[in-house]
Amino acid sequence: MEYLLIMFLVIVTIFLGKVGTWFGFSEVVGQLFSGIILGSSIFNIVQSSNLIHLIAEIGIFLLMLNSGLESDLKEMKRYIKASSLIAVMGVLLPLITFPIAFLLLGYNIQTSIFAGVVFSATSISITLAVLSEQKKLATAIGAIILSAAVIDDIIALFAVTLFSVLVGGGALGINSILPLLAFALGILLRKYNFSDKIGVISTKMGNSFFYPVFFGSIGLEIVIQGLGDKITAIIIFSILAIVTKFVGSLWGAKISGLDTRVSSAIGAGMISRGEMALVIIQIGISSHIIDDYTSAEFIVAVIVSTIVAPIIMKPLFKKI
């Protein structure tokens, strides 16, 4: 019976992901909503289980492996100054701002610091989609944004791995280091000719089964009935998610010598948190840094940034 429910989750998740793209949103957004709809928040058809968790972990591994396989280190070196400044500033501002905001709203210091790590990440896949749509993927601005996104995701992965080791029991658990290892493996494999075949196979496996279970499982953990008293905090977090990454990345671009129009487009291109933030949230749950109740607030803010990012990106990219 559990296998049938998982297949049902996969089918609904893939379908709602396509619906999300039809409405101009990210596929990830639709996939997250599938878990919310099928979980205890609405219909209570599918419940989280050990098997779903295991499949989701494999999904995380494949997702990060593919991110590594798509990371062109040679291309990154061409724009290393600009992309490094953009990445560092785009990480520092959320890393400083979010803990302060969380502490002021009454959260404990562990959750507050973790919030800074979560919202320092950037979604590569959503940025890729918009760059491709705007015919900017093969341009200098495309390379700079993607390089910066890769660098700040590496920083975020190192930060969450270190934080989960220090805070989540003091042990270097596989849940903590798996995404980082998968990402590093992807980068190492990229230099071999067979890496393209690995990328094609792992992407097909991920898109057809493992990714839907991963994103759907995150939605299963959200209980929207309990978020009513957190609406003010969620609005604040969502605004901060957008503003801190946009302003931080814009500053980094300006410091590197880029003009205002290009810097603004780059800032917009770094807003989306998407799958990378969700991976980090999952690490936080697995390492007992945050609980399922608190994670729902993070996830809603991630969803908002994922929806808003392409809306801001498209008009700014058209001006370049």
Q: Per-residue pLDDT tens for 146-185?
A: 888 888 888 888 888 888 777 755 445 556 677 778 888 9
User: For the chain, what is the domain count?
Assistant: 1
Which structural domain, as residue segments, surrounds residue 202?
2-318
Q: How many CA atoms lie within 13 A of 119 on its CB side?
A: 37
Q: Give DSSP secondary structure letters for 140-204.
A: HHHHHHHHHHHHHHHHHHHHHHHHHHHHTTSS--HHHHHHHHHHHHHHHHTTSTTHHHHHHHHHH
Q: Are 75 and 88 in contact (CB under 8 A)?
A: no
* pLDDT score for 176: 60
Question: Which residue did the predictor score with more confidence, 175 or 205?
Answer: 205
* pLDDT score for 70: 77
Per mean pLDDT, which range of 35-49, 88-102, 304-318 is the poorest?
A: 304-318
CATH number, position 198: 1.20.1530.20
**Region label for 170, one of left (φ > 0), alpha (ψ between -120 and 50) or beta (otherwise):** left
* pLDDT score for 150: 82
Q: What is the reported pTM? A: 0.81
Rounded to an integer, the average pLDDT of 28-55 is 89
Give which of 240, 246, 258, 237 is closest to 82, Cα–Cα.
Answer: 258
* pLDDT score for 129: 66
pLDDT tens per residue across span 105-126: 999 999 999 999 999 988 776 7
pLDDT tens per residue across span 230-277: 899 999 999 999 999 999 999 999 999 999 999 999 999 999 887 788
Query: How far apart, in whole angstroms, are the C-alpha atoms of residue 82 and residue 78?
Result: 9
